[in-house]
Structures are given as C-alpha cells and as structure tokens.
Amino acid sequence: MRKLLFESLIKPVLTEAPPLAADSAMEELAGTLGREARRRLGRSLSIREVDAGSCNGCELEIHALNNAFYDVERFGIRFVASPRHADVLLVTGPVTKNMAVALKRTYDAMPAPKWVVAVGDCALDGGCFAGSYAVAGGVSAVVPVDLHIPGCPPRPIEILSGLLALMSETNA
Ligand code: SF4
C-alpha cells in the first residue's frame, strides 16, 4: 500500500493533452458538412456503414468520427442502423463474394435520394485483396458508386472532406 501511494506521487498525470489545432480544422469541416447537409436535405445527414470485407483499418478511422474527440453527431452527422433511414451508404473493403448480396440488399433498401461512398483503396478495385478467390471486386462491381475516398486507410478528416464534396456537388 505504501508503495502504491508513493508511486501515485511520482507518476506523471495520466489525463490526455488538449486537442491540437488540427482538431479545430476538423470541427470547422464537420460543421460545414452538417450545414451543407441541412441545406441539401433539410435535416441531418444519416449514414449507414457496411464493411464488405475490409481488414477493419478503414472501420477504425470511421469509428473515430464518433469518438469523444471528433463526435460528429453534434454537427448533425449520424450513423444509423437501418438502411431505410440512411442517405449515404459508406462501404469499406473489397466486396467479398459472401457480402455481395447483403451489400446489394442494403443499397436496395435505402430510400431515394441516396448516395454510395466507397472508402479506402480496397473499395475502389479490391486493393491488396484483388484477385482473391473470395473477392467479387470493388464496390462498383455490386452497387453504383458516387464517390471514392482514397487511402489505406483514409483519415477521419479525409472522410469528412469527401462527404462535404459529395453534399456540395449534389445541388438540386
Ligand atoms: S484500404 Fe487499407 S485499411 Fe482499408 S480495408 Fe483496405 S487494406 Fe484495410
């Protein structure tokens, strides 16, 4: 017990450092995306994410958008469980043969207008998994793709930039 108390006196503080300047750029970008989505759709932007066979590297970056640092839901960008509530289908990984039907069904279940965003190099053409017996191809081999965000994996700020470009481009 004495050892524990002594260690607690000499150990450095364990709290994390405040956000970097780059995080304020992230906040500005997410805020702009939220406003652009409200202007375009008249409400928050809803995203359904499908892992079609990724290594989960892209998922880690997408999940980061919802962590305590980024917390993009405060800007009106939310991830939803049902494709029936989604505006954007975010797809990662090469599309494996086992996931091809599920991906197509998810796309078909989304109401129009809807957009498909392929995230990561694998989503473009299979990436490092291309040619595998288990892979059907890139996302566009199964559903129509509106935007591809390159990277292995792309960073959260790059994912937000891509979504902003998509919302800004789709002026109706
Ligand atoms: S693009 Fe890179 S991180 Fe994303 S699924 Fe492919 S290998 Fe994994």
The stretch 102-120 carries a mean pLDDT of 96
Query: Dihedral through CA 61, CA 23, CA 82, CA 60, nearest 10?
Result: 10
Separation in Å, CA 144 to CA 84, 103, 168: 18, 11, 19
CB of 120 shorter than 6 A to ligand 1: yes
In this predicted model, which residue has the larger pLDDT, 28 or 147?
147
Tokens of 15: 């709290």
pLDDT tens per residue across span 32-83 = 888 888 888 888 999 999 999 999 999 999 999 999 888 889 888 999 999 9
Residue 96: CB within 6 Å of ligand 1?
no
- The per-residue pLDDT for range 81-90, each reduced to its tens digit, is 999 999 999 9
pTM value is 0.84
Question: What is the rounded CA–CA span in Å between residue 41 and residue 63?
Answer: 24
Per-residue pLDDT at 170 = 59
Give the pLDDT of residue 100: 97
Cα-to-centroid distance, 119 and ligand 1 (Å): 9
45: which strand partners? 77
pLDDT above 90: residue 19? no
1 Cα to the center of ligand 1, angstroms: 47
